[in-house]
Structure 1
Amino acid sequence: MDFAFDARTEELRARLLAFMDEYVYPAEQVAHEQRARLASPWQDPPVVEELKAEARRQGLWNLFLPDAEYGAGLTNLQYAPLAEITGRSPQLAPTATNCAAPDTGNMEVLAQFGDERQKKQWLQPLLAGEIRSAFAMTEPEVASSDATNITTHIERASDGTDEYVITGRKWYISGAMHPDCQIFIVMGKTDPDGADIRRQQSMVLVPRDTPGVTVERAMQVFGYEDHYHGGHAEVVFDHARVPVSNLIGEEGGGFAIAQARLGPGRIHHCMRLIGMAERAIELMCRRAVSRTAFGKALAQQGVVQNWIADARVQVEQLRLLVLKTAWLMDTVGNKGAHTEIQAIKIATPRTVVGILDRAIQLHGAGGVSQDFPLAELYAGARTLMLADGPDEVHQRSLARRELKKYL
């Protein structure tokens, strides 16, 4: 395994770091002030469009897509250090570079499984950053950590029309509150009584303006509405009808598509989390050398030194594990990297939560305020212990794979 950055990665890293310093970090406070004056809290502040235009001009656009036909054509190993950099400002940088979830996963689904009409109608405007999208899988009435539990029905219309009728309730549907969100990828059951529980589900494209689709409310995350990700909504599908041609792939293929979507999504989250941890370490160090307590700079307090040292060790460990996972995904595929994908999904959020917690503690009251990004970073990192499968599900699967060697 050689994790040295190649020439293209080094060149993109340099450009992206300069973009962050020159445009993104200065825009954080500007965006906060602009948002307070918007007619709708779900609109993007004007500075976001300025950032997107500059990122496109500099060629820092769609970096996440390995398919060169649609994206930058980078491998996972090449993209990892770039995603880490954007993770330092997760509210602005991923959106500015068109590398923000859930659009990234939805674009990957359409690129891999969509037909030509679906790609033209939905993938192309997503790649151009002209629209936003949402992925509707999680449901409030069942334990969605087991995706086979979903109850949303996708049924063939009984009146002879070539349509699906969709009925169900979803929640924490990221991106659904954004005014530019025009399309949902909805997972539901087309064969609820099928013998194979992993072939009961399908995915269909449902335009947001489809009659019967109601975005009922925004769901908060630790009190935050997560405007930059287009919010998280509770959505009702009440006999919403779409053409059968809106099916993605084949009937019964929804579970497999979900797994294909979530693999890259999990590693992208972990890459960005490392950037969040690096931002936290930087803030810790700046705070430690600028504040005095009990006659000494905080940087001279043994406990603070331990926090900073431990954080550095932990980040270096996580980065190596994420890079190994990215390398395996590139060389043996997502299935071959299954153990490592689960390992980073377990280890990265919980470790970064710990680092952020200590950074908040070091900042005192400022750490939980809006004057520093730490509280919002903490909320985002803690949520990732649930998103894309809770830790316990990955631990269960990983343990079973380990035990299988001895059974």
Structure 2
Amino acid sequence: MDFAFDARTEELRARLLAFMDEHVYPAEAVAEEQRAALASPWDTPAVIEELKAEARRQGLWNLFLPDAEYGAGLTNLQYAPLAEITGRSPHLAPTATNCAAPDTGNMEVLAQFGDERQRKQWLEPLLAGEIRSAFAMTEPEVASSDATNITTHIERDGDEYVVTGRKWYISGAMNPDCRIFIVMGKTDPDGPDIRRQQSMVLVPRDTPGVTVTRAMQVFGYEDHSHGGHAEVVFDHARVPASNLIGEEGGGFAIAQARLGPGRIHHCMRLIGMAERAIDLMCRRAVSRTAFGKALAQQGVVQNWIADARVTVEQLRLLVLKTAWLMDTVGNRGAHTEIQAIKIATPRAVVGILDRAIQLHGAGGVSQDFPLAELYASARTLMLADGPDEVHQRSLARRELKKYL
């Protein structure tokens, strides 16, 4: 068993680490200053476009997409340590390298299931970083943890589909560059197979009947850097029938294919968040004194740091194993491991961030450190792409099936 990264991964890691040190970390404060001066808080600060241009120049672009025709052609195992690095600045680095959700998942859907026209019209500008996108599945009126509950209607009317429904927490939708929604709804609500009732259609943002009604907050944050999370109403919005992705009734399967890689990408970035937290903990511990000695000499602080390091090393090995399985036996073959990392990683990283906040005292919950915002992001990922309990239920069933 060889734990070393291959030559290409090592080379990209070196370049990406340098890019983070030289460009991304210094841009964090600049982005906040520029955003405060913008006409709309949802507009993109100029420094982000500068970062994107520099990332493209350095070949640090579309690293997430394994299809060499569209992306960098990296395997999941090669991409994992790179996603971890971008996770250290999750509100800048993924966007700078065009590896930010929900665009990554949407690009994967279009690359895998879109037809030639759809790829030309929407995938190509997304790959170029010219536009942004959103994935509209979650609804406020039903338990969306069970995707078969969704109530949005996608009704065929001649050469068009008519979309009617209400979605919320649609990530990226507040960004004015968000030009396209991938909408999941029911084309056959009374069909006998509840997993064949759903379909996905492409709905341009400027379609009559599409209204972005409000920004949804996350622990009081509006998450400007990710383009926010919006409530969106589709009121008899009409799109050409050719905007259907794949086939009618294929929406649930497409969603599962989309969310598999998305879950591991989130876990990779979460490990990067944890590494950022450990770095901040150590810096704080050696720079502050309480009760006559440095915080670094306090036993409880040493325990927090040691436990955090052990936890991160465990998580990283499980995530890398999962990435390797996805590459070798496919997403279905890695199903148990994907669920395991989705359960374990957000939960553990939330704990590490909580200790880091505690170590920073009042500063930990302030805007002067990234910890509070990182905590909000990590805690949200215990819900995103399926609540932990859904994955626990499915994983337990798989384990118990061996004994039944």
TM tier relative to shorter chain:
over 0.9
CA distance in 2: counterparts of 1:241 and 1:47, whole angstroms: 37
Question: Which residue number corresponds to residue 28 of structure 2?
Answer: 28
Task: Name stretches of at least 5 consecutive residues in structure 2 with no aligned partner.
Answer: none
Q: Deviations over 1:78-132 (max 9, x none)?
A: 0000000000000100000000000000000000000000000000000000000
Question: Which residue number corresponds to residue 263 of structure 1?
Answer: 260
Matches within 5 A, 1:331-350: 331-350=328-347
Q: Deviations over 1:35-67 (max 9, x none)?
A: 110100001111000000000000000000000
Shift of residue 4, structure 1, vs aligned partner: 1.5
CA distance in 1: counterparts of 2:117 and 2:91, whole angstroms: 32
CA distance in 2: counterparts of 1:77 and 1:227, whole angstroms: 30
8 Å contact 1:290–1:297 — kept in the other structure? yes
Question: Which residue number corresponds to residue 223 of structure 1?
Answer: 220
Q: 1:183 aligns with which of 177, 180, 185?
A: 180
CA distance in 1: counterparts of 2:194 and 2:335, whole angstroms: 21
Q: 2:386 aligns with which of 384, 389, 394?
A: 389
8 Å contact 1:103–1:133 — kept in the other structure? yes
Aligned length: 404
Shift of residue 320, structure 1, vs aligned partner: 0.1
CA distance in 2: counterparts of 1:400 and 1:270, whole angstroms: 23
Shift of residue 200, structure 1, vs aligned partner: 0.3
CA distance in 1: counterparts of 2:332 and 2:253, whole angstroms: 12
CA distance in 1: counterparts of 2:344 and 2:153, whole angstroms: 35
1:355 matched to 2:355? The reply is no
Q: 1:322 aligns with which of 314, 319, 339?
A: 319
TM-score (normalizing by structure 1): 0.99
Question: Which residue number corresponds to residue 400 of structure 2?
Answer: 403
Report the secondary structure of 1:346's partner residue: helix
Task: Name stretches of at least 5 consecutive residues in structure 1 with no aligned partner.
Answer: none
Q: Deviations over 1:329-379 (max 9, x none)?
A: 000000000000000000000000000000000000000000000000000
Q: 1:310 aligns with which of 307, 311, 324?
A: 307
Q: Deviations over 1:248-294 (max 9, x none)?
A: 00000000000000000000000000000000000000000000000
Q: Deviations over 1:381-403 (max 9, x none)?
A: 00000000000000000000000
Report the secondary structure of 1:179's partner residue: coil
Question: Which residue number corresponds to residue 72 of structure 1?
Answer: 72
Shift of residue 20, structure 1, vs aligned partner: 0.2
Report the secondary structure of 1:221's partner residue: coil
CA distance in 2: counterparts of 1:3 and 1:148, whole angstroms: 40
Matches within 5 A, 1:3-402: 3-156=3-156, 160=158, 162-402=159-399
TM-score (normalizing by structure 2): 1.00
Shift of residue 2, structure 1, vs aligned partner: 3.0
CA distance in 1: counterparts of 2:136 and 2:34, whole angstroms: 30
CA distance in 2: counterparts of 1:155 and 1:344, whole angstroms: 37
CA distance in 1: counterparts of 2:136 and 2:396, whole angstroms: 29
Q: Deviations over 1:185-218 (max 9, x none)?
A: 0000000000000000000000000000000000
8 Å contact 1:267–1:326 — kept in the other structure? yes
Report the secondary structure of 1:304's partner residue: helix
Shift of residue 3, structure 1, vs aligned partner: 3.2
CA distance in 2: counterparts of 1:57 and 1:264, whole angstroms: 26
Q: State the superposition RMSD in angstroms.
A: 0.6
CA distance in 2: counterparts of 1:343 and 1:227, whole angstroms: 30
8 Å contact 1:3–1:323 — kept in the other structure? no
CA distance in 1: counterparts of 2:2 and 2:226, whole angstroms: 34
Shift of residue 18, structure 1, vs aligned partner: 0.2
CA distance in 1: counterparts of 2:128 and 2:110, whole angstroms: 14
Report the secondary structure of 1:206's partner residue: strand
CA distance in 1: counterparts of 2:208 and 2:48, whole angstroms: 31
Shift of residue 228, structure 1, vs aligned partner: 1.1
CA distance in 2: counterparts of 1:111 and 1:252, whole angstroms: 19
Report the secondary structure of 2:285's partner residue: helix
Report the secondary structure of 2:214's partner residue: strand
CA distance in 1: counterparts of 2:370 and 2:173, whole angstroms: 24
Report the secondary structure of 1:170's partner residue: strand
CA distance in 2: counterparts of 1:8 and 1:303, whole angstroms: 40
Report the secondary structure of 1:392's partner residue: helix
Report the secondary structure of 1:280's partner residue: helix
Q: Percent identity?
A: 94
CA distance in 2: counterparts of 1:4 and 1:142, whole angstroms: 46
8 Å contact 1:138–1:172 — kept in the other structure? yes
8 Å contact 1:311–1:355 — kept in the other structure? yes
8 Å contact 1:288–1:304 — kept in the other structure? yes
CA distance in 2: counterparts of 1:406 and 1:207, whole angstroms: 49
Report the secondary structure of 1:73's partner residue: coil
Shift of residue 229, structure 1, vs aligned partner: 1.0
CA distance in 1: counterparts of 2:366 and 2:227, whole angstroms: 22
CA distance in 1: counterparts of 2:386 and 2:266, whole angstroms: 12
8 Å contact 1:136–1:184 — kept in the other structure? yes
8 Å contact 1:218–1:234 — kept in the other structure? yes
8 Å contact 1:212–1:240 — kept in the other structure? yes
